[in-house]
Amino acid sequence: VNDLAGISGLIIPGGESTVIYMLLKKSGMYEKIVEMAHSGLHIMGTCAGAILVSRDTGDKQVEGMNLIDISIKRNAYGRQINSFIQKINISGIGNFDAVFIRAPEIESTGNSEVLGLENGKPVIVREGNIMALTFHPELTGNTGVHELFVSGITG
């Protein structure tokens, strides 16, 4: 928990949302992250991270942090074998080759700003200091999503 002191931004990565959730709860970081987000900490949740920052995870085992007004469904795009890369257009970035791996689906966006769609479905959204995306931008050579996140911190 002490490692969070003084940070301006946090990326909650992809992985297994139930495991990340349990580790954050056990370490006390879950509550601290929520508290810091309410005080202005910028957070980008990718894939499992998007599930964690959501209002509704659609999973009884994972309590969303309720930091962004979205409901999300785990593994909506299928199993690992169904992973794919899709060119999407992201507001403020342009074309981006998004990598979807056992990706969740954003089912409702509430007050969130939709920054990009894949097949008509929101895949990157932003609300204030929180961004959520269902794909893995770190698996491409394009730093546009990370630059967009950092620009929100640095103004």
> Which residue numbers belong to the known binding site for L-glutamine?
15-17, 74, 101-102
Catalytic residue at 38? no
> For residue 4, which phi and psi values (nearest 5 degrees)?
-80, -15
Catalytic residue at 42? no
47, 105, 118, 127: the catalytic one is 47
Burial class of residue 90 (count of CB atoms within 10 Å of its CB; 0-12, 13-18, 19+): buried
Residues in binding site: 15-17, 74, 101-102
In this structure, what is the dihedral angle of CA atoms 146, 139, 18, 36, given to the nearest 10 degrees? -10
42, 105, 127, 136: the catalytic one is 136
In this structure, what is the dihedral angle of CA atoms 108, 140, 86, 52, given to the nearest 10 degrees? -20
Q: Give the span between the Cα atoms of 98 and 17, in whole angstroms.
A: 20
35, 113, 138, 147: the catalytic one is 138
Catalytic residue at 47? yes
> For residue 45, which phi and psi values (nearest 5 degrees)?
-105, 120
- Count Cβ atoms below 10 Å from residue 138 Cβ, excluding itself: 13
Residues acting as catalytic residues: 47, 136, 138
